[in-house]
Amino acid sequence: MKVKKTNPVFRIVILMVVMMLPASLFAQKPGWLTIGDSNGHGPDAWPAQLQRLLPSVEIVNHSIPGNTIGFDNLGQKRLNTLRNIHQYLQETEETLNGKAPQHILVWLGTNDAKKVFAQRQDEVKTNMESLIDSIRTYYLTRNQKAHITLISPPPMSPDSCILEKYHGGDKRLADIVKTYAGIAKEKQCHFINIYQPFHPVFQAMNKDGVHLIPEGEYIVARYILLHMDIPESMKPGHSK
């Protein structure tokens, strides 16, 4: 059986057409890294919602249910972001073929506000500062820059609506948000406060007093994009 040869002229035409296509068609998508907890985990979570809103960006999500900033939640080291941040960044680097993510979004603090950590709230500030420093150092050693956006955790419902392990959590979260604002200013990070604007309507946005429903995740994802330090053309509602 003879194999039919492709016409040389046809191959040249195809090559010329390919060369005329914009380079952007073949370029790797810019990457964003999201770091979070259970509110960031799953097909309807805020990182997934961001991905749908920004198809031109590749979202690399490291959100793990139970994750804290720097506590061994439930006695597990794997739920301590500070312990595992180097691994997160290495895996992100591999996914993005050695490129640094354009933006790193950190949404942590809900689990750090649990009742079991009530007497250790002074460590939250130190842990978040160390986490930001660790991220910056990782990229500095690679001659890359890390653009970090610090996102406050959302509110919690009153104690009567949540499990005992979260009791007193909303008050602790209010203090954490104030702490984050100071850290962001000191460390020159972009800060997005989702605690205060959504506090009045949080009862309609959650399923158990702590975790957002899909509609809530979408609303918050849009809010984050609207308040990100990105070009207006990337924000929801922009007319192209």
Domain ranges of the chain: 28-229
- 217-233 per-position pLDDT tens digit: 999 999 999 999 888 98
pLDDT number for residue 2: 53
Which CATH class name applies to 28-229?
alpha beta
- Concatenated DSSP letters of 47-81: HHHHHHH-TTSEEEEEE-TT-BSSS-GGG-GGGBH
pLDDT number for residue 234: 87
pLDDT number for residue 22: 47
Strand positions, DSSP E, the chain: 31-36, 58-63, 103-107, 148-151, 190-192
* Three-state SS at 138: helix
pLDDT < 50 stretches in the chain: 3, 17-18, 21-26
Six-digit token pair at 125? Answer: 């500030």
pLDDT number for residue 235: 85
pTM > 0.75:
yes
CA dihedral of residues 119, 176, 168, 201 (deg, nearest 10): -170
pLDDT number for residue 159: 97
pLDDT number for residue 23: 42
